[in-house]
Amino acid sequence: MSTLADLAAGMSDGSVEVVDLTAPLSEETPVIQLPEPLANTPGLRIEELSRYDDRGPAWYWNVLHVGEHAGTHFDAPVHWVTGEDGPDVSEVPAEDLVGPAAVIDMSREVEEDPDFLLEVEHVRRWEEEHGSLPEGGWLLYRTGWDARSEDEEAFLNVDGDGVSHTPGISVECARWLAQEAPIVGLGVETVGTDAGAAADFDPPFPVHSFLLGAEKYGVTQLQNLDRLPPTGSIVMVAPLPVEDGSGSPCRVLALTTH
Ligand code: MN
């Protein structure tokens, strides 16, 4: 009771800040592009129903046509074959969607190498400085890639051979985060939780494979992670509870203090 009263007081006096980690969603928002013959997801398309006109004189409303995995979005365990018996997006316990955030900043390394992969030793080094990854929390992986999110070409960064050069996580680190680390979820700034080149890893797409297989969660296309300290923030991830859904565009907010 007094904890929430303190929080309310902090929000009212400005010592607690709400940071929006969500990329705005528009018809231009980039989505992942898989090679032929794989099916691709559409991004967002907005169909207008009325806008204060004959179709609805006093109201404006639309229909959203959107892939589950468009923009800032949530991956439920059932998204991947390794998690096929796990929860769909409506079955994810709400308490897993709110938790302490650990922010690891590799933006300097990624500036040198867009194919940079986070390794267990990077997380261990972070833990030496900031303490263990939080039980039931979220690891938020800052790469600086959010600066590219409004420019599809720069964001997907595909070369002449069709390979995407975007940062990610090594196979061993993905396995470790899934099976040994106490976190429940991973948030990234890129179009997916795996590296751009991860189709050729063993296993392919190891973050999806291990994390979702361990009934943990992924969130993509975050921004404003530079406004969070390494520890001490609370993140809230809010996908739509679509029954049987594999994921959902979502709003991701953080509470932080200065
Ligand atoms: Mn996804």
The two tokens of residue 128 are 């030496």
Domain 2-26+68-257: CATH superfamily, name plus number: Putative cyclase (3.50.30.50)
Q: What is the DSSP string of 177-227?
A: HHHTS--SEEE-SSSSSS-TTGGGSSSSSHIIIIIIHTT-EEE--B--GGG
- The whole-angstrom separation of Cα 160 and Cα 141 is 27
- Would you call 79 a catalytic residue per the annotation? yes
pLDDT attached to residue 128: 98
User: At 56, is the secondary structure helix, strand, or coil?
Assistant: strand
Q: What percent of the chain is modeled with pLDDT above 70?
A: 100
Per the residue annotation, which of 69, 79, 122, 208 is the catalytic one? 79
CA 126 / ligand 1 centre spacing (Å):
26
> In sequence order, which residues have a C-beta less than 8 Å from that of residue 210 and are 6 or more positions away?
82, 174, 175, 177, 178, 179, 203
Q: Which two tokens stand for residue 179?
A: 């099976």
What's the CA-to-centroid distance between 68 and ligand 1, angstroms? 7
**Does residue 36 surpass a pLDDT of 90?**
no
Say if pTM beats, i.e. exceeds, 0.85: yes
Helices 171-179, 120-130: axis angle to 10 degrees equals 50
Q: What is the band of 35 on the pLDDT scale with cuts at 50, 70, 90?
A: confident
Q: How many CB atoms lie within 10 A of CB 225?
A: 25
The rounded Å distance from CA 134 to ligand 1 centre is 23
Beta bridge partners of 56: 53
Ligand 1 centroid to Cα of residue 70, in Å, is 7
Q: What angle do CA 215, 218, 223 make, to 5 degrees?
A: 160
pLDDT in tens, 92-101: 999 999 999 9
Token reading at 188: 């990234």
pLDDT tens sequence across 227-246: 999 999 999 999 999 999 99
| pLDDT computed for residue 1 by the predictor | 61
Pick from 254, 256, 211, 243: which is nearest to 75 by CA? 211
Residue 132 alpha carbon to ligand 1 centre in Å: 27
Ligand 1 centroid, distance to 192 Cα (angstroms): 6
In the structure, what pLDDT confidence band is assigned to residue 154 with cuts at 50, 70 and 90? very high
What are the structural domain ranges in the chain?
Answer: 2-26+68-257
